[in-house]
Structure 1
Amino acid sequence: MGLNRRNFLGRGIGAGLGIAALAAPMVAAQGRPRVIVVGGGAGGASVARHLAQDSDGAIDIILIEPTRSYYTCFFSNLYLGGLREMATLAHGYGRLAADYGINVVHDWVVGVDRDRLEVALAGGGRLGYDRLVLSPGIDFIDGALPGWSVAAQNRMPHAYKAGSQTELLRAQVDAMRPGGTFALVAPPNPYRCPPGPYERVSMIARRLRATNPTARILIVDPKDSFSKQALFEEGWQAHYPGMIERIGPDFGADRIELRPERMEIVIDGMVEAVDVCNAIPPMKAGRICDLAGVSEGYWAPVVPATMQARADPAIHVLGDAALQGDMPKSAFSANSQARVAAMAIRAALTGARAFPPRFTNTCWSLIDAEDGVKVGATYEATEDRIARVDGFVSQPGEPAALRRATYRESLDWYAAITRDMFG
């Protein structure tokens, strides 16, 4: 949207906004302040539930999410590896409505009027808000992966939004000819779940080891290095020796073209025929951030202490879509940011006390059955970013008992975060 008075004020206020600026409550026409949350994933569902739980009915909460069942992208790689069923990744919104009084609307938001404080729905009608939370996850950058488009996703699935794409990719792997080639085209930074593509390779290798042991896995990676690289490479050598090959930018992986109809990857002019190609394109914030006018470039800058959009203090942006600093784009990060945003919103709308924000993240990855590794950190809000304070990472050569415990810890986390999201 073009520059207007609200845009101008939003840019001026947002640059220095902190918790102290949230003292004056706003009251909606219906008598209670209203918060609209767009997106029902790790950030959106979490902020809606925490607001409902902590405000004791003082805030009217509307969660807008087009799907009735949310499939977690996190842990979907385990489905590809045969360690989970798809049904275990599906979660509904019934308890948020029944137990927490959240008005769950299954629709698309197709516009945001920041002057009127309204969102427009694809199904018709407009809803007013006092605060708007955008947690739309990721979309793909059009044309950024030469030869690939959404129209080609059934030939070369991305499977980076869990559900039918995940099921399609597993079916394609299972149908590979003996000794065939599975290729994964990794995205450039930044993107959702930095270790995700490499855990996916591990799980595909696990499946092929059992069903197609002479198959080959090719990683085409535009990055010089990747998250947990030493741990993954150690695990691949131990569990899948000779099966996995990675090509980096020094061998042309940053100069590629995809030919979905021919099932070919052109790498620096050389043609590579493949049987299955998991193409993960470059990413950006979900489209609603552009429609709301809160994006700069591909992501939406936020005020670290409150997750408010720099462009508009009445809008908060969470999770993968936010440009916030050092936190990786992960479900754990989104959930942590949602707690901070919920506290800030409740303080602004009801006068409740807001405490200094705290952020944490842990990301688990599975290399083989019960061989889990992790990385994590704590963070603090500075003036310009969410800044890393300290961290930890699994180490090469750890005993099997520790790796098994790490994997089982991840199972407990999955159960805990999905309870925190959906009640």
Structure 2
Amino acid sequence: MPKPILISRRGVIRAAAASTALLACPAIAKARPKVVVIGGGAGGATAAKYLRHGDDSVEVTLVEANRIYVTPFTSNLYLGGLKPFEALNYGYEGIAARGVGMVFDSVAAIDRDAKQVRTASGARLSYDRLVLSPGIDFRWDAIPGYSEAAAETMPHGYRGSAQFQLLKRRLDALSDGALIVIIAPPNPYRCPPAPYERASMMAHALKSRGVKNARIVILDAKDHFAMQTLFIDGWERHYPGMIEWQDPTIHGGIKAVDPKAMTVTTDFETHKAALVNVIPPQIAGKLARDSGLADASGFCPVDAGTMISLIDPSIQVIGDSATGGEFPKSGFAANNEAKGAAMILRAELLGERRMPIRFTNHCWSDIAPDDAVKNGARYTPQDGKIVASDPYTSQLDESAELRAKQAREAAGWYIGMTTDIFG
């Protein structure tokens, strides 16, 4: 016969106390995964917003040097006098309201081994995963005589509010007989139709002010460009004799620019210009390159199905710095990539459902007020690369009504896009 178990009064009290303690102190919750997003443009801001996805399952911190983002997309309309500069400006209040931690500072370095981001002010931000969207940088030395300092005289006007405004001031100061030279970059670069929409909007601004006999010469590094026949047709209709496009077989190559003399020398002639808009060849943002995430192309290779860096699997690179195939570099593309990257990341960190990534890109370009053309395509990951399908583009014989409708579409897209990013 087993001996009876004797429980003392003291033991009962201790057991009761232990039970109460267990009820009062539930298991310590697992720490939320930390994601740091660098870059508050169309890619980074979208990623930060969609990583929150209406809950606080992921701790998201967005690091951005500027408190106001100036959209490069539609900045040509500002040059053309069709849009005020203030309409390009967006703050991050909507992003912060969704629970994203905002750090307004530049990034000094990424310590990939320690998984830390170090800011210029000395802060250290730890991450489980990093989303990097640093935008573009320029090959400053690709054109002899050009440099970052020279951009203060021959503005690129391709990023940053100061450059957009400088280019606008120089354009508005031109008088009769002025010559503008635009140096268009080789592929790949941000927004393939942008230099040609820019020429259109410059011509519109000059025509609207009554400037006579002004000319715009585009010296291109390419032998063709996006929607070329549509732009040339539009130039002949709206600005006859005003815009001249030259491919390398015509100009023979850019030999040098001289910011002091305001000249551009090609293999065949030297242009003395009132305004020179140099759009240099482009590469991934400096931070991406300094962090060892770019390859010999100057851009960051990623897996197209996840946007995960092929160099560091704890980092996703999105937007203009990434290269994964045929997807163009644009605000629309960056927004698409950011949504896909956020979905992939939440699935990995939280076990959420993961759908196959699909991309689209649509681009509207204004040749004149109420005359916009467009192109676009669908894109799917195949064998780690982004491959285009179902492309479309505007046609030469489109009616004036259709072109005006497309201009309204472009305006509506901008409202929808910026609301999706910053709203």
TM-score by length of 1: 0.91
Q: Quick one: which amino acid aligns to residue 248 of structure 1?
A: D
Query: Higher relative CO (CA 8 A, sep ≥ 6), structure 1 or 2?
Result: 1
CA offsets 1:288-347 (integer angstroms, 9 cap, x no match): 111221100210000011100000111000011001101110011001111110000001
SS for the counterpart of 1:414 is: helix
Detail structure 1 runs of 4+ shifted over 6 Å in the superposition. Answer: none
Match of 2:183 among 182, 185, 196: 185
Contact kept? 2:43, 2:318, Cα under 8 Å: yes
1:125 to partner: Cα distance: 2.0
- Looking at structure 2, the residues matched to 293 and 32 of structure 1 have their Cα atoms a distance apart, in angstroms, of 28
Query: Aligned residue for 2:138?
Result: 140
Query: Aligned residue for 1:412?
Result: 412
Q: Does 1:360 align with 2:365?
A: no
- Looking at structure 1, the residues matched to 185 and 106 of structure 2 have their Cα atoms a distance apart, in angstroms, of 27
Moved more, 262-271 or 279-288: 262-271
Query: Aligned residue for 2:323?
Result: 323
Structure number, greater radius of gyration? 2
1:251 to partner: Cα distance: 2.0
Q: CA RMSD in A?
A: 1.2
Q: Quick one: which amino acid aligns to residue 122 of structure 1?
A: A
Query: Aligned residue for 2:48?
Result: 48
Identity of aligned residues (%): 46
- Looking at structure 2, the residues matched to 380 and 34 of structure 1 have their Cα atoms a distance apart, in angstroms, of 29
Contact kept? 1:182, 1:216, Cα under 8 Å: yes
SS for the counterpart of 1:150 is: coil
* Equivalences for residues 164-175 of structure 1 within 5 A: 164-175=162-173
- Residues paired across the two proteins, number: 393
Q: Provide closer, same or farther for how the CA distance between residues 374 and 171 of structure 1 changes in structure 2, counting only shifts above 3 A.
A: same
Match of 1:121 among 115, 119, 122: 119
Q: Provide closer, same or farther for how the CA distance between residues 147 and 307 of structure 1 changes in structure 2, counting only shifts above 3 A.
A: same
Which residues of structure 1 form unaligned runs of 5+? 1-28
Match of 1:149 among 126, 134, 147: 147
TM-score by length of 2: 0.91
* Equivalences for residues 104-115 of structure 1 within 5 A: 104-115=102-113
Q: Provide closer, same or farther for how the CA distance between residues 167 and 367 of structure 1 changes in structure 2, counting only shifts above 3 A.
A: same
Contact kept? 1:46, 1:338, Cα under 8 Å: yes
SS for the counterpart of 2:44 is: helix
Query: Aligned residue for 2:6?
Result: none
Q: Does 1:209 align with 2:207?
A: yes
SS for the counterpart of 1:185 is: strand
CA offsets 1:359-398 (integer angstroms, 9 cap, x no match): 0000110000010110100011112301112111001121
- Looking at structure 2, the residues matched to 73 and 254 of structure 1 have their Cα atoms a distance apart, in angstroms, of 28
1:202 to partner: Cα distance: 0.2
* Equivalences for residues 260-271 of structure 1 within 5 A: 260-268=259-267, 270-271=269-270
Query: Aligned residue for 1:371?
Result: 371
Q: Does 1:242 align with 2:254?
A: no
Query: Aligned residue for 2:383?
Result: 383
- Looking at structure 1, the residues matched to 72 and 66 of structure 2 have their Cα atoms a distance apart, in angstroms, of 14
- Looking at structure 1, the residues matched to 175 and 201 of structure 2 have their Cα atoms a distance apart, in angstroms, of 18
Contact kept? 1:221, 1:253, Cα under 8 Å: no
Contact kept? 2:364, 2:372, Cα under 8 Å: yes
